[in-house]
Amino acid sequence: MHVVSRQDCPNGNRKGDIIPLESIARFVQLVPKFGSHIDPAVRSNNSMDVCRHYYLNSFADKEIYQSVW
């Protein structure tokens, strides 16, 4: 699986952009990359806020698998 990371500004704020819906081709599953231990603050509703690195699940369906590989 590929690893993706989020970027933050030097002051700690998140970088972001507005993407038009018509330019989104497919949604992907991101799985948090925990490492050797899991932060006890991570919950299903805040994992995108707490974690910085994620695995891109290229095995979710065959179209994503073929696009990634």
**Residue of 27, 31, 47 whose CA lies nearest to 39:** 47
**How many structural domains is the chain composed of?**
1
State the pTM of this model.
0.69
Task: Please state the separation of Cα 40 from the chain's center in Å.
Answer: 19
Cβ-based burial of 8 (10 A; exposed 0-12, middle 13-18, buried ≥19): exposed
Per residue in 15-35, pLDDT (tens digit) is 888 999 999 888 888 888 888
Q: How far apart are CA 47 and CA 5, in angstroms?
A: 13
pLDDT at 60 over 80: no
Give residue 21's pLDDT: 92
Range of the domain at 6: 2-68
